[in-house]
Chains A and B, each alone.
Chain A
Amino acid sequence: MSQEIDKKETDKKEVGEVTTIYNEFETWTWTVNMGDKTIHAKRMAGFFRTFKDRAQLALWLPFFLFPYLRWNDKQAILFDIDHRQFHFFSLTVLPQDIWMLSLLLLVAAMTLFAVTSVASRVWCGYFCFQTAWTDWFTWIEEKIEGNPTARRKLETAPWDADKIKKKGLKHLAWASIALLTGISFSIWFVDAFDYWNNLIHLQLPVVGWVVLVMFFLGTYILAGLLREQTCIWLCPYARIQAVMNDSQTILPTYDYTRGEPRGKIRRGGEVVAPQGDCIDCFQCVQVCPTGVDIRNGQQLGCITCGLCIDACDSIMDKIAKPRGLIRYASLDELSGKPAKKMYQHPRTLVYIGIIMLALSGIVWGLTHLGSMTLKIMHERQPLFVSMSDGSIQNKYDFKLLNKTDKDFQVKVSAEGGVKDQIILGAENNPMIHHGRGTSFTIFVKAPGKFAEKDVTPIKFRVESMDDPTVFAEYTSQFYAPKK
C-alpha cells in the first residue's frame, strides 16, 4: 500500500518533468521526409540502441580488421583477383569452383528474405552498411556539433569561426572514416601490408586509386550527405523487402488501439477528454534516423531499427504507463487476430528450404573440391588421321588444373577405346604446376582393323606420380573412319 502511494508521488513529479519535453519540440515541426531537410535525430539510450550498436560493430569491425589476419605467412582471407584465387585460411578456391559463390549469394539472399518475412527489415535496422555508417557519422556529428537542437541552430547560423571550426572538424572526421573504408575494402583483394606500403609511397596501381577514390566518395556522400535518403530513394532492397512483409511479420508498430486518441499530457494530470496512452510527445519521431512518424503505421521509410521503441518506453516509464505502446508486433496481433505459429508461415519455410538446399550444395562442393581437374578437348580438324601403317591416330588437348600446393608429374592412362591402342605424348610424365592450368597434347594411335566403330568412348585417367590418390578422369571419344 505504502509502495503505491510512493509511486503516485513520483508520478506527479515525473509528469511535471515530462511536460518539458514539449518545449524542445516547439522549435521544430514534423513533415513528411522529402529530403529537403537534414534529419537531426536525437540519440536515446535503450535496449535497441545498445543492440544496434553491438550488431553494427559485430558485423563491420571484422570488415576493418580481418584483412590483417595472417595464416602461413599469407593473408588469411584474400580474394586474389590478380592471380584468380580465393584464399580462406588453408583453403584455396580457384575460379572453377566459384559456382559455390553463387550458392553463397543465394543463401545470403534467402536469409534476408526469411528474416524479413519473420521480423521485417532486421538487416536495414541493425546491420546494413548504409545505416551503420550513417549512424557512426551522425554520432561524430553529435560529438562535434552537439545535440539536434544545437545542430539545427548551427545550420542557420552565420559562417563564423566557431561554425567553420565545427563543420571542418566534422567533415575531416567523416573523410577519415571514408578513407579508412576505402582502404579496408581494397585490402580484401590485395595483400593488406603491401597495399599500405604502396599507398604510403603513392604507388598504387591505377585501378587501386580508382577503387579508393570511388569508395571514399561513395562513403562520404552516402553516409555523410545522403543518409536516410539512400534508404528511401536509392536502395532496391528497401522496396523488395516491403513485399516480404505480411500480417504475420513482426515489426516496430504503434499500438493505435492503446494509444489513440492521443493527447498532450497536462500539468497536474487533469483530463479534459478521453485520452489514450500516447501523449503526443513526438519522442518517437525525434529519435527516428529516417524521419518517419511510426504512429502513421507501416511505411517505406521505416528501417525497423527499434529506436522509437526505446524512446517510447522511456516516456511510458516516466508517466507510469506500461511499456510497449510502440513495440515489435504483427498486424494480426494489433487487429486482435490470433497469432499464428511459425510453422504456419509457409513462405518462411520455403525460404528456409532453399537455404538448406544451397547450404548442402556448398558443403558438397567444399568436400568435393578435389586436388586436380581434367578437361580434354578432342581435336576437331581432323577428327582422326590415317597413318601409313593403316592405324588411326586421334589428337587430344589435355587441360589440367592442379589445386594442391605442390607441383607434380603425372602419368596418363586410358580405359576403353580401341584394342591395342597406344598413348603417345606423356612419356616424360608432364609436370603439372600448382595454382594454374597446364596443358599438353596426347595422341592415341590404334590399329585400323580394330577401330570398328566410328566413335568409341575412351576414358582417360591422369594420376600424380607422387600420390595415386591425386587423380582426375575424363571421358572423351576416339574417332575412326566410317566402315
Chain B
Amino acid sequence: MSDKHSAGDVPTTGHVWDDDLGDYINQPPKWWMLGLTASAIWVVVYWIFYPSIPVSNANGFFKGVGGWTAINEMEADKSVVDEVRGKYEAKLKDMTPAAILADSELTEYVTRSGKVLFGDNCAACHGQNGVGTHDKQGLFAPILNDDDWLYGGKIDDIHTTIVGGRQGMMMAHKDMLSEAEVDTLANAVAAGKPTSTPLFAEKGCTACHGEDGKGMQAMGSANLTDGVWRFDSSVEGIKYTIKNGVNAGTPETRVAVMPAFQGAKLSDAEIKKLAVYVYKFGGGQAEAAPVVVDAAATSEVPAASAVQAAQ
C-alpha cells in the first residue's frame, strides 16, 4: 500500500506490517486460475498414463495405462535405423564376399557401417582403422591397410582368415645357429636380400620362406624381401625373431595368434562385412590385378566394368 498509488476499493487482509504494508485480497487473474486447473488435471492424467508411482510389490510395479517404457521407445527408434539397414542386410546375407565387393552400393554400405563392427571385434589388436598395435617386442598385430599379406590379400583369403583365425609358426633357432650365423642372417634379411648369404639355404630357411625368400602364402611365412615387417625391422629385432621363433612354445617366443571368429563370436554376415571392410582399407588384392573397386559408382555400373578397368 504505497502512499503514491491509491489502493482503490480493494480490501486488504487487515494485517499491517511496518506501518503501511498490507496484503490485497484480490482474486488471482482468471487466466492464471485456468492455467493452474489445467496443470492439476494434467498431473492426474500424466500419473495415470505413465509409470509414475515409484513403488513396486510382488506383482511388479505400476506400469501406467499407456504402457510406455523407455526400452520400448529406444526399440522403436532402433527399428527406424534397422529399416534403413534392412534392405542392405537382407541382400548381402546370401552373397559371397566377392559378390558384395563387386556391388558398389553394398560396398559403400559396408565401408560406412562397418566401423562399429571392426571397432568391437578387431581394433583391440589391429588398432582403429587397422593401423596395427605395438607391444614392447615390436608390432603386435599386423597392419591391415598395406598390401602385404601373410595369408593372402584377396577377398576370400581375408574371409578365410577371419572365419578360422590364424596362428603363426616359426622354430626357435637359438640352439641350432651360432651367434655369428644369426648375425649374418639377420643383416641379410634386414637389407631385404636374404638370399645374399648361403646360410639362408643351408640352414633350411627356404623350407618356409621359399627359395627366393618371398614367403609362402599357404604357410603364412613372411616375405623377407619387401619393405613391410611383421614384428620389427631392426637387426636386433630380426635376431630376436630368428633365435626365439614365433609361437615356438617358449616364454621368450614371439606371439602371433588370431582367434577364429566364426560361430559364437560373429555371424556369417558380420564376417563377410568385416572381410569387405578390411579389404577396403586400401590393401586388398583383386583376383586379377590390383583394382580398387569404385565406391561411389551406382549399382548401374556393372561389375564387368570393374574387371575391364583392372585389365
Restricting to B16-48, which residues have a CB under 8 Å from any CB of A? none
Cα–Cα distance between A390 and B131 once the two chains are bound (Å): 17
Contact A386 B294 (CB under 8 A): no
Q: Does A425 contact B (CB under 8 A)?
A: yes
Contact A390 B227 (CB under 8 A): yes
Partner of A385 from the list B146, B280, B292, B306 (CB cut-off 8 Å) is: B146
Q: Does A441 contact B (CB under 8 A)?
A: yes
Restricting to B237-296, which residues have a CB under 8 Å from any CB of A? 280, 282-283, 290-296
CB distance from A427 to the nearest CB of B (A): 4
Cα–Cα distance between A431 and B145 once the two chains are bound (Å): 26
Q: Tally the A-B contacts, defined by beta carbons under 8 Å.
A: 84
Contact flags (1/0) for B204-238 with A, using CB distance below 8 Å? Answer: 00000000000000000001001110000000000
Partner of B306 from the list A382, A389, A428 (CB cut-off 8 Å) is: A428
CB distance from B199 to the nearest CB of A (A): 24
Contact B228 A387 (CB under 8 A): yes
CB distance from B240 to the nearest CB of A (A): 21
Partner of A443 from the list B111, B282, B300 (CB cut-off 8 Å) is: B282
Cα–Cα distance between A440 and B301 once the two chains are bound (Å): 14
Q: For residue B301, which residues in chain A have a CB less than 8 angstroms away from its CB?
A: 428, 431
Q: Does A276 contact B (CB under 8 A)?
A: no
Restricting to A361-392, which residues have a CB under 8 Å from any CB of B? 379, 381-382, 385-390
Contact A425 B298 (CB under 8 A): no
Q: Does A426 contact B (CB under 8 A)?
A: yes
Partner of B227 from the list A379, A389, A433, A443 (CB cut-off 8 Å) is: A389
Most buried by B among A382, A398, A429, A438: A382
Contact flags (1/0) for A415-456 with B, using CB distance below 8 Å? Answer: 000000000111111111100001111010000100000000
Q: Does B297 contact A (CB under 8 A)?
A: yes
Q: Does A43 contact B (CB under 8 A)?
A: no
Q: For residue A379, which residues in chain B have a CB less than 8 angstroms away from its CB?
A: 129
Q: Does B147 contact A (CB under 8 A)?
A: yes
CB distance from B64 to the nearest CB of A (A): 23
Q: For residue B291, which residues in chain A have a CB less than 8 angstroms away from its CB?
A: 427
Q: Does B143 contact A (CB under 8 A)?
A: yes
Q: For residue A438, which residues in chain B have a CB less than 8 angstroms away from its CB?
A: 296
Query: Chain B's interface: helix, strand, loop or mixed, by majority?
Result: loop
Cα–Cα distance between A377 and B135 once the two chains are bound (Å): 30
Q: Does A121 contact B (CB under 8 A)?
A: no
Q: For residue B282, which residues in chain A have a CB less than 8 angstroms away from its CB?
A: 385, 393, 395, 443
CB distance from A217 to the nearest CB of B (A): 15
Decide yes or no: A431 and B298 within 8 Å by CB, A387-B227, A388-B227 being known contacts: yes
Cα–Cα distance between A82 and B58 once the two chains are bound (Å): 50
Decide yes or no: A426 and B129 within 8 Å by CB, A431-B301, A441-B280 being known contacts: no
CB distance from B142 to the nearest CB of A (A): 12
Decide yes or no: A441 and B111 within 8 Å by CB, A430-B297, A448-B227 being known contacts: yes
Q: Does B178 contact A (CB under 8 A)?
A: no
Cα–Cα distance between A389 and B283 once the two chains are bound (Å): 12
Residue of A nearest to B296 (CB): A440
Cα–Cα distance between A398 and B297 once the two chains are bound (Å): 13
Cα–Cα distance between A317 and B78 once the two chains are bound (Å): 76
Q: Does B128 contact A (CB under 8 A)?
A: yes
Contact A388 B295 (CB under 8 A): no
Q: For residue A382, which residues in chain B have a CB less than 8 angstroms away from its CB?
A: 129, 131, 143, 145
Q: For residue A389, which residues in chain B have a CB less than 8 angstroms away from its CB?
A: 226-227
Q: Does B148 contact A (CB under 8 A)?
A: yes
Contact B226 A443 (CB under 8 A): no
Most buried by B among A398, A425, A448: A425
Residue of A nearest to B112 (CB): A439
Residue of A nearest to B104 (CB): A428
Decide yes or no: A388 and B226 within 8 Å by CB, A393-B146, A428-B306 being known contacts: yes
30 residue pairs from A and B, CB less than 8 Å apart: A379-B129, A381-B128, A382-B129, A385-B143, A385-B146, A385-B282, A385-B283, A386-B146, A387-B146, A387-B148, A388-B146, A388-B147, A388-B148, A393-B146, A393-B282, A398-B296, A427-B291, A427-B292, A427-B309, A428-B294, A428-B305, A430-B295, A430-B296, A430-B297, A431-B296, A431-B297, A440-B294, A440-B296, A441-B292, A443-B282
Which B residues are within 8 Å of any A CB, using their own CB? Answer: 111, 127-129, 131, 143, 145-148, 223, 226-228, 280, 282-283, 290-298, 300-301, 305-306, 309
Which A residues are within 8 Å of any B CB, using their own CB? Answer: 379, 381-382, 385-390, 393, 395, 398, 424-433, 438-441, 443, 448
Report the 5 A-B pairs with minimum CB-CB distance, sorted nearest first.
A440-B296, A388-B226, A430-B296, A428-B294, A388-B148
